[in-house]
Amino acid sequence: MAKGKSQQTKESGDRVVLVNRRAYHDYEILETFEAGIALVGTEVKSVRAGRVNLQDAYCKVQNGEVWLYNMHISPYSHGNRYNPDPVRPRKLLLHKWEINRLMGKAEMKGLTIVPLKIYFKRGYAKVEIAIVRGKKLYDKRQAIAERDRQREEERMMMNRQ
């Protein structure tokens, strides 16, 4: 999905604002969580407009809270001088048991927490985060080869029909 384009999912009416495709390519996704984001002021309007970037974003568990770092939300064009810092850390809203699970997994060697997508659910901004393990170069090549093979099979099926 192109940057800034939104997508409506059919089953729940959620409006996906941005998908971090790079995370799907660079990491093996082990477990996902849905979290709310504590946004201030005009940040919600900027997110609705798709003016958000997850390129280098990551999450950390500190003092029993989960924080999202390096997510860039551009200042709202019609905002005033009180627009917040575009790359400030943002608190993620999760249940205590989810935070404990994330804390335990994040301490394991080779695992990290990254955001996968940002969307709106019943009017609230949500972020899907995942516990991930980095892929090796040969894993990435294998995934690309598998994707190409599936595309070729689909083309063959379409040509038969």
Higher pLDDT residue, 32 or 161?
32
Q: Please answer whether residues 92 and 126 qualify as being in contact, where contact means their C-beta atoms are separated by less than 8 angstroms.
A: no
**In this structure, is residue 157 part of a structural domain?**
no
CATH number, domain of 76, equals 2.40.280.10
State the chain's mean pLDDT as an integer. 86
Give the total number of structural domains in the chain.
Answer: 1
pTM above 0.75, yes or no: yes
For residue 83, the model assigns a pLDDT of 79
Q: What residues make up the domain containing 33?
A: 10-135
Question: Is residue 79's pLDDT more than 80?
Answer: no
SS3 for the chain is: CCCCCCEECCCCCCEEEEECHHHHHHEEEEEEEEEEECCCCCHHHHHHCCCEECCCCEEEEECCEEEEECCEECCCCCCCCCCCCCCCCEEEECCHHHHHHHHHHHCCCCEEEEEEEEEEECCEEEEEEEEEEECCHHHHHHHHHHHHHHHHHHHHHHHHC
For residue 127, the model assigns a pLDDT of 95
For residue 12, the model assigns a pLDDT of 54
**In this structure, is residue 100 part of a structural domain?**
yes
Render pLDDT for 4-48 as a digit per residue (tens, 0 to 9): 444 554 445 678 888 988 888 888 899 999 999 999 888 888 898
Question: Is residue 57's pLDDT more than 70?
Answer: yes
**In this structure, is residue 49 part of a structural domain?**
yes
For residue 1, the model assigns a pLDDT of 42
**In this structure, is residue 161 part of a structural domain?**
no
For residue 128, the model assigns a pLDDT of 95
**In this structure, is residue 1 part of a structural domain?**
no
**How far from each other are the two terminal CA atoms of the chain, in whole angstroms?**
28
